Structure 1
Amino acid sequence: MGTRYQAHRAIGATRITPDKWHAARDAVKDVVDRFGALVESADPQAMATADWSVMDTAAHVAAVAWLNTAAVASDDAPLPMPGIREHIATATVDTIGTSLNSALLHAYTERDPGKVVGTLRTSIDEILRLTAAADPTRTLSWLGGSRIPLAGLVAHLTNELLLHGRDIARAVDLPWHLPDEYAALFFELFLIEIARNGAGHLLDDDRRVHQGRIAVEFRSDYTSPVTMVLDTGDVWIEEPSRDNDVRVHFKPATLNLVLFHRVPRVRAALTGSLRVWGRRPWLLAPFLRKVRLP
């Protein structure tokens, strides 16, 4: 990424408000209860993904939450698992699913359902305790030299619980609800804020970069309208304007499933959960080749 991120200078208006901060804290408490009950009722050996069992998946989420207890304390706090810091520092979107996640599962070896859920609950309780009186806009060092606010870290944890809870529930044929209002918090407090505060080298890759500006406006019934701009590799946030190239209207839960490769874009479009138009809608494809999630 460019020097825009290396300077860690927030661009565009923050979406963090006191109401959304309280909502993010309530959401993670709600979803961790549902997730814990799901894990403890599921077959631990069932395959939740092509590579992870139910307990591998739950252990991954617990390890992420445990690491985040150090992140909210300070950028220099010792990590609870050895050998992870170097993977965090060098992470890109393309290596999170291989290098970092593999290192996490190797470092966190517990697979007993009760103990894994216990670690998860204790870690989230500790995060909420440590941040009870904190400024939710305070930024933290995150993966690949990126910066996220406290509110974004909490919203990201909720999204981890929701997405991986869905993986587990589908594996054992149990219902699982992804509330749009919770997914909207991930979009506004994490995705938009990481673009505001600096993505570091998270989006770095060897792909050919689209030359020139692409402005994509995002709207939903649960979020404030916002424009994300990609310009020859740099990404930042602006307010919507008439010269936006692409306009996207989305249901937040569906957008998250699309971005994390759980639902194809075509299926989301056919159901009306993702609508794309604008003066140059074809530019959404090169935009998403660069602005992407693991």
Structure 2
Amino acid sequence: MGAVTACDPAAEHERTRVALAAALARLVELVGGIDDLEAPSGVPVWSVGDVGAHLAAAYLAFGAAVPGGPAGETIDWEAVLAGQEGTFGERIAAVNALSVGLITGAERKRLGAVLAERGAAFLRGSAGLAPDTPVPAPWYGPGRTVPLAAATGLMLNETLLHGLDMARGARRPWPLGPEEASLVIGQAMVTMMPLALDTEKAQGVRTAFDLVLRGGPRLAVVIEDGAATVTRDAPPRPYDCRITAAPTAFLLVSFGRMPIWKAIALGRMRAGGRKPWLAPRLSELITAP
């Protein structure tokens, strides 16, 4: 079944910061070796440069939001999101579409330096803060905040996945290890999965998933009548479906970088429990923008 391992929030958050710094260094090296930023990336309709611009915008957003972020670097989110009130997915899609145009011309030509500066600013601004420090995240909804642990996990996730997108476009290697994936899942997805629930599809649904990541965190995902709760290290309870997965495969499948059939065929994901056929429902109810 997989053991439930207790988490030390402060220690895991520090490991996530270390992983983010290492991934950021790899990303800057990757971007510095790409000659054609207009080449197609792993994201449909976005070039390699577009992905980098989006990533730089995400770094700026979180860097400006942390309490110790750089003075003078703020974003007028009311202006950016004007007319974009809607579901979680609609808001994120709108922000993503806007983000690629925020870095153009000469600034895009120094994309690696911009990413290095903004990534470092987030790490400096958040240094020494408790993992549960609230970080404003209005792009997720009016007045929305997320814990610093989730923000750091999201920064790591953005770096890993969009680094992969850029590397695929440039035909360069981009390793993504299970430890990094486990940190993203444990730090960010506990917060983000309930926000990403499709509340319309979830109406009338009552089901519980036991999500077991090999060598990583174990999450209880409970969906009841249009709402979701995700609990780490949950006490024993009955589940309808157990999903056991390798952390890297689960992360890639969750964000559309690997088809689920491939993860299953490679033995990196399987379903069990009383109702294993419910496993695909999780990705239908909780979707990545």
TM-score by structure 1 length?
0.84
Q: Tell me by how many angstroms 1:282 deviates.
A: 2.1
CA contact (8 A) 2:222 2:230 kept: yes
Q: Tell me by how many angstroms 1:148 deviates.
A: 2.0
Are 2:229 and 1:231 equivalent residues in the alignment? no
Call closer, same or farther: CA 1:136–1:86 in 2, change over 3 Å: farther
Call closer, same or farther: CA 1:127–1:137 in 2, change over 3 Å: same
Counterpart for residue 187 of structure 2: 189
Question: C-alpha distance in 2, partners of 1:184/1:267?
Answer: 20
Question: C-alpha distance in 1, partners of 2:252/2:8?
Answer: 23
Q: Tell me by how many angstroms 1:242 deviates.
A: 4.5
Counterpart for residue 3 of structure 2: none
Question: C-alpha distance in 2, partners of 1:40/1:110?
Answer: 17
Counterpart of 1:102 in structure 2: which amino acid?
Answer: A
Counterpart for residue 20 of structure 2: 28
SS for the counterpart of 2:283 is helix
Instruction: Find 1:289's aligned residue among 267, 284, 288.
Output: 284
Q: Tell me by how many angstroms 1:107 deviates.
A: 3.2
Counterpart of 1:227 in structure 2: which amino acid?
Answer: A
Q: Tell me by how many angstroms 1:108 deviates.
A: 3.4
Q: Tell me by how many angstroms 1:240 deviates.
A: 5.3
SS for the counterpart of 1:279 is coil
Matches within 5 A, 1:1-294: 15=7, 17-42=9-34, 43-48=36-41, 49-73=43-67, 80-82=74-76, 83-86=79-82, 90=86, 92-97=88-93, 99-110=94-105, 112=107, 115-142=110-137, 143-145=140-142, 146-194=144-192, 199=195, 202-204=196-198, 207-209=200-202, 211-238=204-231, 239=234, 241-294=236-289
Counterpart of 1:72 in structure 2: which amino acid?
Answer: V
CA contact (8 A) 2:68 2:126 kept: no
Of stretches 52-61 and 14-23 in structure 1, the one that deviates more from structure 2 is: 14-23
Gaps of 5+ in 1: 1-13
> How far does the alpha carbon of each residue in 1:251-289 deviate from its partner, in whole angstroms, 9 at most, with x for none?
111111101111111110110111111101222233321
Question: C-alpha distance in 1, partners of 2:83/2:183?
Answer: 27
Question: Which protein, 1 or 2, shows the higher relative CO under an 8 Å CA cutoff with sep ≥ 6?
Answer: 1
Counterpart for residue 9 of structure 1: none
CA contact (8 A) 1:151 1:189 kept: yes
Question: C-alpha distance in 2, partners of 1:131/1:223?
Answer: 25
> How far does the alpha carbon of each residue in 1:129-171 deviate from its partner, in whole angstroms, 9 at most, with x for none?
1221211112323212544211111111111111111111112
CA contact (8 A) 2:211 2:243 kept: yes
TM-score by structure 2 length?
0.85
Question: C-alpha distance in 1, partners of 2:146/2:178?
Answer: 22
Q: State how many pairs are aligned.
A: 275
Counterpart of 2:55 in structure 1: which amino acid?
Answer: V
CA contact (8 A) 2:244 2:270 kept: yes
Question: C-alpha distance in 1, partners of 2:84/2:26?
Answer: 28
Q: Tell me by how many angstroms 1:23 deviates.
A: 0.6
Q: Tell me by how many angstroms 1:218 deviates.
A: 1.2
Call closer, same or farther: CA 1:255–1:45 in 2, change over 3 Å: same
Of stretches 27-36 and 85-94 in structure 1, the one that deviates more from structure 2 is: 85-94
Call closer, same or farther: CA 1:246–1:79 in 2, change over 3 Å: farther
SS for the counterpart of 2:46 is coil
Q: Tell me by how many angstroms 1:127 deviates.
A: 1.4
